[in-house]
Amino acid sequence: MNIVLGITGGIAAYKAPDLVRRLRERGGDVQIVMTTSAEEFVTGTALQAVSGRPIRSNLWDKEAEAAMSHIELARWADVVLIAPATAEVMARIVSGGAPDLLTTICLATEAPIAVAPAMNHVMWNNPATQANRRVLEERGVHILGPGVGSQACGETGAGRMIEPDAIATAVFDLGTSKGEGLLAGKKVVITAGPTREPIDPVRYISNRSSGKMGYAMARAAIAQEADVVLISGPVNLPEPAGVEVHSVLSAQDMYEATHDAIEDADIFISAAAVADYRPADVKAQKIKKNDESMSIELVRCPDILASVAALDTGPFTVGFAAETEKVDDYARSKLEKKKLDMIIANRVGDDCGFDTDDNSVNVFWTDGERRFPTARKSELARNLIELVAQRFYAARGTDTQPRLTVVSNIE
């Protein structure tokens, strides 16, 4: 695997030689690109010795550019890894600027990009850094860590770079060669986000779903080389690269789009928060404020998940259960009642579940379960997709046992 390893100006740069060694042990060909600040922390001489290649750092180095230009380098990479990644480089990538060799490569590459943030915990928790982290995740950049623990500054918190070995393992999982993804050649249909059930031309009934979990699942399935169809309710998220997105509004629209896409699907993941009820009668004109009280008659919306699970030769069907109480009990009974292959249950409330970046879930299938502690939705989605693939192959009687790699944010 060809790895462009970007090293930026953080204390954790002292771990870079160890990281290079671990990448090379796994068969990686490593081209190091250092920022000017990184050169303050670790010498190019040491890194050249361990990587076996001349270090690149200057966008304006005519000799190096003549040998392999920054565009060629961007094309050569199977993965671009930045470790350690400073708060500053995360901001530069988000801005879309290309003031140096490393960010120019990030802009010019089509390879997956992974960053391993490393910084003081206050810098990491700063709203600006968190906003940048969210944007990177939404654009499909893989965020590895950071870990929680004691820091170089003597304080304790989130912001440590995760260990070189964990970074190397995660990078090799991302850079799976073509045709080797766990879901290569499989069609996965995913629903995400809320639905809107119109009351009149200006009002609707909806819910607090942000769509983040479903979108993260779509990105994770793409990373495993699935053909992904994402049927999305109204959300404020960028379309994941490589995914066929169908935008819908109401539960009925989502039902129809799902059944249009489902015929040749291998796996269906219902992550959308579909309305259970809709107004029986949608008014043609805006309802006027006349009486002290009013009531709206509601009727049941179609149950998309149950309808797919009931198909004779339907796909492997995975539901999500968002509950405010008795989460495991309700999830198990939904698994049974709707005849699902798997259910992913999470608690929702004021402090968790909807419109947050983190989640913790319990997964159940007929004869097993697995619990995932709180993690970012992107990280959780990667592990959930691996588990779904594992159960899918087990249910189909194929002897494929994918590895379960957890990039933990807790050391």
Ligand X SMILES: Cc1cc2nc3c(=O)[nH]c(=O)nc-3n(C[C@H](O)[C@H](O)[C@H](O)COP(=O)(O)O)c2cc1C
Which residues lie near ligand X (CB under 6 A)? 8-11, 35, 37-38, 86-89, 118-119, 123
CB of 11 to ligand X, least distance (A): 4
Q: Cβ of residue 74: shortest distance to ligand X, in angstroms?
A: 18
Apex CA 312: angle with CA 308 and CA 313, to 5°? Answer: 85
Q: Say if residues 94 and 100 touch (Cβ distance below 8 Å).
A: no
Work out the widest C-alpha separation in the chain, in whole angstroms: 81
**Which C-beta is closer to ligand X: that of 38 or that of 168?**
38
Partnered with residue 350 across adjacent β-strands are: none
Closer residue to ligand X in complex, CB, 1/87: 87
Closer residue to ligand X (CB): 104 or 207: 104
Residue identified by tokens 């709180």 is: 374
* Minimum CB distance to ligand X, residue 157 (Å): 13
| Alpha-helical regions (H) of 109-235 | 121-125, 127-138, 164-174, 212-223
Q: Nearer to ligand X by C-beta: 11 or 282? A: 11
Query: Which alpha helices (H) appear in 224-362, and where do they start and end?
Result: 251-262, 304-309, 327-337
> How many Cα atoms are found within 13 Å in the side-chain-facing hemisphere of 38?
34
Q: How far is the CB of 87 from ligand X (least distance, A)?
A: 4
Q: 87 vs 23, 84, 269, 347, CA distance in Å?
A: 24, 10, 35, 32
Task: Name residue 368's beta-bridge partners.
Answer: 365
Least distance in Å: CB of 125 to ligand X?
Answer: 13
Closest distance of CB 40 from ligand X, Å? 7
Distance from C-alpha of 371 to C-alpha of 362, rounded to nearest angstrom? 4
One-letter amino acid at 405 equals T
Residues contacting residue 367 through CB under 8 Å, at least 6 positions apart: none
Radius of gyration (C-alpha) of the chain in whole angstroms: 23
Which residue in 153, 279, 134, 154 sits closest to 215, CA to CA? 134
CB of 155 to ligand X, least distance (A): 12
Nearer Cβ to ligand X, position 129 or 224?
129
Residue that is written with structure tokens 């008659």 in the block: 297
Question: 11 or 235: whose CB is closer to ligand X?
Answer: 11
Nearer to ligand X, 37 or 360 (CB): 37
- The residues annotated with a catalytic role in the active site are 153
State how far the Cα of 187 lies from the Cα of 227, in Å rounded to an integer: 5
CA–CA dist 64, 80 (Å, integer): 19
Q: What are phi and psi of 322, to 5 degrees?
A: -100, 115
Question: Exposure of 29 by Cβ count < 10 A (0-12 exposed, 13-18 middle, 19+ buried)?
Answer: middle
